[in-house]
Structure 1
């Protein structure tokens, strides 16, 4: 049985530019992202996968269509309400880590609260420290990013994304700067977020081996969802990517 959707896209289109330089990055895309599942978005370069992620996360606004969190169309929210929603409902993990170099590991993990002008309760702070422990960060909480390996920095980014207990986590090529072993650990941590913390994870990736960890894989080509498949092995996903690239 499928979980209730955390976010629903309805008729999403995104057009950049105008006239002869007009680019249709997304074309009438409708998709549900369910809770407690890891959903991967794949496609050739320029296919629209990052555009879809940005629209679902409220980082950009569509040219047409709606993005619904519960029954709230976030495309109709003003910037203040949209920012508030992102700070309480959505976590982000990016390829570049995006850690603040002057802050300690713990300060980076707690940064979403600082930016929101709030403080976690004692119980919530204890929960955050437990998650940091799960990620192997307890001995590193007083260090700064330059004192960490790439894999450790990505773990900090995951801890920061988990800290606010978001319903939805977006991970944009989170293993792109990591070796294969560390990348595997990161993917397993994202998988555990869906199982243990009831969160939905959306993984944007070009890597079939990474997408093979997903419960569901959406393939985008020329701004359209062309395949929607369940858990699939890396070799099959690689063949599908090559097929799409050859068809463009």
Structure 2
């Protein structure tokens, strides 16, 4: 078995598929440079990213796979999991070698794998759209720090741009060290040190910004907590069901969860 090592980008993964067909080499294990695992006698092959090669593979996939299949492919890639990358590579090989549509061939382990991973990423996307909380800074910027399980910022961009068109906002992914910033016109990708903003990132509590917040932010924060307490019916408390719909890993971003 050959081991293809790529840079973790979509371009790099598609180049792995290109190389596999170039050299008729399909018994392959793909891995990123950060997660290299190999046996003593396995062959290690560094696959360089090449935009032209990646585009050829991508356009080919679009001809072989339905729009929903392409969506599942992209969502699965955003999971950032090695096992998911392997599914993507195997799926691509299967798609190009097959003479019939494979999108619903769930008896094939890699087609099923894409379906399962895309559902997980899609679920995380919807939860982030629901649970993101902003704090207003003195300069008028609405700021939120998040730590999603998967790289869903590219997927939630359209939702927040549509919903908050009249506000400047920044959603920053603490785990992946980048964010999306809306300047009232376009959304830009930005990089910064989140520790300068949230000193409690490592401890897992709610956001405690060291930047200067708007004077009314504390009031809004307390009003939201009071509203939550007033509509909460303690006699009907069902912690198990509540956690099912609002997992604890999201609580650190929700003002109403911090007393």
TM-score tier after normalising by the smaller chain length: under 0.3
Richer in helix (by share):
2
The higher relative CO (CA closer than 8 Å, separation ≥ 6) is in: 1
TM-score norm. by structure 1 comes to: 0.27
